[in-house]
Amino acid sequence: MTALSVNVNKIAVLRNSRGGPEPSVLKAAETAIKAGAHGITVHPRPDQRHITPGDVDALAQLCRKHGVEYNIEGNPFAPARGDYPGMMALIERVRPTQTTLVPDGDGQITSDHGFDLRADGARLQPYVQQLQDWGVRVSIFMDAGTPDLVLAKALGIDRIELYTGPYAEAFAHGDPTAAAACARTAAEAQALGIGVNAGHDLNQANLDAFISMVPAVLEVSIGHALISEALYDGLETTVRNYLAICRA
């Protein structure tokens, strides 16, 4: 079964837009876990537009309490800024199950491309090694069709996370081959001994087709669509709907 990790960034966006503690990121995460989610994902950014360092700490305790996976996404190259200590410092102090390395910047509304390892592989190497020395599983955000899987293998990473934004857009336009590039890349990665995760713009409409066409996806990380759908159907019900798709 493909594991479901619920990204709670959007809960923090809503909280931060008003100030104060509501809606509670911690309560939302606990609701998702009690509904059956296998893990929680966050993507703390230096500008703290949503998840804060305090959220990172509190969610680490929650995930340990419930025995679920904790996945922290972000750019390891982003330096400390103000009371944001830097991604690597956050990882060192909470030791999540998994870190997903993403080449994002402040100017991006959301992550919109994977790493180019021909350009960044050498810079990433010491970060990958440090994370694994801390006992953290390492995944790298990569585009479907990437020519860099051999370089990813050389880095010693555990998994890749396929950027599924283009798949979701093609699916929405009725393209029957929407998942073909993801399926090929997943198979190539798995042949090299690299596990495959996936995330971005996956939703209840397109997830079943994706899982059916892409072999042995270990985990999907879903936030924006899941939280949006939960506004209508409730968070617990929405998480259970996604889990039913993952099981099928």
Q: Which residues are part of the catalytic machinery? A: 43, 73, 200
- The strand pair at 98-101 and 137-143 is best described as parallel
Angle ∠(231,97,151) on CA atoms, nearest 5 = 105
CB 221 within 8 A of CB 37: no
Question: Left (φ > 0), alpha (ψ -120 to 50) or beta: where does 244 sit?
Answer: alpha
Secondary structure class of 242 (helix, strand, coil): helix
Task: Measure the CA–CA gap between 135 and 97, rounded to whole angstroms.
Answer: 8
* Residue length of the chain: 248
Residue type, 50: H
> Cα 77 to the chain's mean position, in Å?
17
